[in-house]
Amino acid sequence: MRSVSMTDKAGRTLALLVPPVDEVGATERAEFFTKRSIKKESKIHALYLAISMCDLTTLEGADTPGRVRQMCEKARHPVPPDVFQSVAGQKNLPPIPSVAAVCVYPSMVSTAVKALAGSAINVASVATAFPSGQAPLKVKLDDTRFAVSEGANEIDMVINRGAFLSGDYQLVFDEIAATKEACGEAHLKVILETGELGSLDRVRLASEIAMRAGADFIKTSTGKIQPAATLPVTLVMLQAIQDFYMKTGKKIGMKPAGGIRTAKQAIQYLCMVNETMGSDWLTPDLFRFGASAMVNDILKQIFKEATGRYYYDRVFSLD
Amino acid sequence: MTTKRALDKKSKAQAAKIAPVEKLPKQAKTGAMKFEYAPSLESTDIVRIEKRNRLFIGGKFIEPSSEAYFTSMNPATGERLADIAEAGDADVDLAVRTARKTYENVWSKMSGRERGRYLFRIARLIQERSRELAVLETLDNGKPIRESRDVDVPLVAAHFFYHAGWADKLNYAFPGQNVSPLGVVGQIIPWNFPLLMAAWKIAPALACGNTVVLKPAETTSLSALLLAQVFQDAGLPDGVVNIVTGAGATGAALVNHPDVDKIAFTGSTDVGKIIARAVAGTKKRLTLELGGKSAHIIFEDAALDQALEGVINGIYFNQGHVCCAGSRLLLEESIAEEFVAKLKKRVAKLRVGNPLDKNTDIGAINSAGELKKIKKLIQLGKDEGGEFFEPTCAIPDKGFYQRPCFFSNVSSSFTLSRVEIFGPVLAVSTFRTSQEAVLKANDTPYGLAAGIWSEKGAKIHKVAGQLKAGVIWANTYNKFDPSAPFGGYNESGWGREGGRHGLSAYLDVR
Contact: A185, B6; criterion CB under 8 Å = yes
Count helices and strands in chain A by DSSP H and E runs: 12, 9
Q: Nearest residue on chain B to A153, judged by CA atoms?
A: B7
Give the DSSP letter of residue A280. Answer: G
Instruction: Decide if B396 contacts B353 (C-beta within 8 A).
Output: yes
Instruction: Decide if B118 contacts B93 (C-beta within 8 A).
Output: no
3-state secondary structure B177-206: CCEEECCEEEEECCCCCHHHHHHHHHHHHH
Q: Collapsing DSSP states into helix, strand and coil, what is residue B252?
A: helix
CA distance B358 to chain A (A): 6
Q: Nearest residue on chain B to A200, judged by CA atoms?
A: B303
CA–CA distance, B85 with B80 (Å, rounded to integer) = 14
Nearest to B307 by CA among B297, B320, B319: B297
CA–CA distance, B148 with B158 (Å, rounded to integer) = 14
CA–CA distance, B233 with B243 (Å, rounded to integer) = 16
**Predicted confidence (pLDDT) per residue in B339-395, tens digit:** 999 999 999 999 999 999 999 999 999 999 999 999 999 999 999 999 999 999 999
Give the DSSP letter of residue B370. Answer: H
Nearest to A266 by CA among A227, A228, A243, A293: A293
Domain with CATH 3.40.605.10 in chain B: 52-290
Q: Across the interface, which of A36, A118, A282 has its CB nearest the CB of B33?
A: A282
Instruction: Decide if A150 contacts A128 (C-beta within 8 A).
Output: no
Give, in order, the Cα–Cα distances in Å from B418 to each of A47, B192, B294, B448, B463.
49, 21, 10, 13, 21
CA–CA distance, B361 with B342 (Å, rounded to integer) = 18
Instruction: Decide if A290 contacts A284 (C-beta within 8 A).
Output: no
Backbone angles phi, psi at B291, to 5 degrees: -80, -175
**Predicted confidence (pLDDT) per residue in B104-122, tens digit:** 999 999 999 999 999 999 9
Q: Nearest residue on chain B to A201, judged by CA atoms?
A: B303
Q: Which CATH superfamily is domain B52-290 in?
A: Aldehyde Dehydrogenase; Chain A, domain 1 (3.40.605.10)
CA–CA distance, A232 with A230 (Å, rounded to integer) = 6
**Active-site residues of B: which are they?**
289, 323
**Overall size of chain A counted in residues:** 319
Residues 6+ apart with CB under 8 A from B455: A20, A22, B301, B302, B303, B475
- Output the pLDDT for position A6: 74
- Output the pLDDT for position B443: 97
Domain with CATH 3.40.309.10 in chain B: 295-480
- Output the pLDDT for position A244: 96
Nearest to B456 by CA among A2, A48, A14: A2
CA distance B306 to chain A (A): 5
pLDDT value at B452 more than 70: yes
Best residue in B9, B23, B24, B41 for a mutation probing chain A (most A CBs within 10 Å): B24
CA–CA distance, B85 with B71 (Å, rounded to integer) = 9
Q: Across the interface, which of B3, B20, B36 has its CB nearest the CB of A42?
A: B36
Q: Collapsing DSSP states into helix, strand and coil, what is residue A198?
A: coil
pLDDT value at B25 more than 60: no
Instruction: Decide if B135 contacts B145 (C-beta within 8 A).
Output: yes
Region of B143 (left: φ > 0; alpha: ψ -120 to 50; beta: rest) is beta
The yes/no answer on whether domain B295-480 falls in CATH 3.40.50.300 is no
CA–CA distance, A71 with A98 (Å, rounded to integer) = 12
Residues 6+ apart with CB under 8 A from B177: B509, B510
pLDDT value at B15 more than 70: no
Give the DSSP letter of residue A125. Answer: E
Residue ranges of chain A with per-residue pLDDT less than 50? none
Q: Which residues of A touch B358 (CB under 8 A)?
A: 35-37
Best residue in A121, A123, A153 for a mutation probing chain B (most B CBs within 10 Å): A153
**Predicted confidence (pLDDT) per residue in B223-273, tens digit:** 999 999 999 999 999 999 999 999 999 999 999 999 999 999 999 999 999
Q: Nearest residue on chain B to A280, judged by CA atoms?
A: B32
Q: Which residues of A touch B302 (CB under 8 A)?
A: 20
- Using a CB–CB cutoff of 8 Å, tell me whether A27 touches chain B: no
- Output the pLDDT for position A1: 59
Alpha-helix residue ranges (DSSP H) falling in B434-485:
434-442, 457-466
ipTM of the complex: 0.93
CA–CA distance, B216 with B86 (Å, rounded to integer) = 11
Instruction: Decide if A270 contacts A23 (C-beta within 8 A).
Output: no
Instruction: Decide if A94 contacts A73 (C-beta within 8 A).
Output: no
Residues 6+ apart with CB under 8 A from B87: B55, B64, B66, B95, B215, B244, B245, B246, B250, B253
In DSSP terms, A225 is beta-bridged to: none
pLDDT above 70 covers a percentage of chain B that reads: 94
CA distance B412 to chain A (A): 28
Backbone angles phi, psi at B407, to 5 degrees: -110, 130
Contact: A20, B9; criterion CB under 8 Å = no
CA distance B472 to chain A (A): 17
Q: Which residues of A touch B362 (CB under 8 A)?
A: none
Q: Which residues of A touch B359 (CB under 8 A)?
A: 36-37
Q: CB neighbours (10 Å) of residue B466?
A: 13
Helices B89-105 and B248-256 sit at what angle, rounded to 10 degrees? 40
- Dmax (CA) of chain A: 63
Alpha-helix residue ranges (DSSP H) falling in B129-177:
130-141, 145-147, 153-166, 170-173
Give, in order, the Cα–Cα distances in Å from A89 to each of A9, A311, B193, B281.
57, 16, 49, 80
List, as ranges, residues 246-305 from A with C-beta within 8 Å of B. 246, 270-271, 274-275, 278-286
Here the CATH number for the domain that contains residue A60 is 3.20.20.70
Full domain range(s) for residue A277: 2-315
Instruction: Decide if B222 contacts B72 (C-beta within 8 A).
Output: yes
Count helices and strands in chain B by DSSP H and E runs: 18, 20
Based on the residue annotation, tell me whether A219 is a catalytic residue of this protein: yes
Radius of gyration for chain A, computed over Cα atoms and rounded to the nearest angstrom: 19
Q: Which residues of A touch B301 (CB under 8 A)?
A: 1, 20
Calculate the average pLDDT of chain B: 94
- Output the pLDDT for position B249: 97
CA–CA distance, B191 with B206 (Å, rounded to integer) = 22
CA distance B324 to chain A (A): 20
pLDDT above 90 covers a percentage of chain B that reads: 93
pLDDT value at B26 more than 50: no
Q: Which residues of B touch A46 (CB under 8 A)?
A: 35
- Output the pLDDT for position A8: 65
Domain count along chain A: 1
- Using a CB–CB cutoff of 8 Å, tell me whether A20 touches chain B: yes
Q: Collapsing DSSP states into helix, strand and coil, what is residue A190?
A: strand
Contact: B38, A43; criterion CB under 8 Å = yes
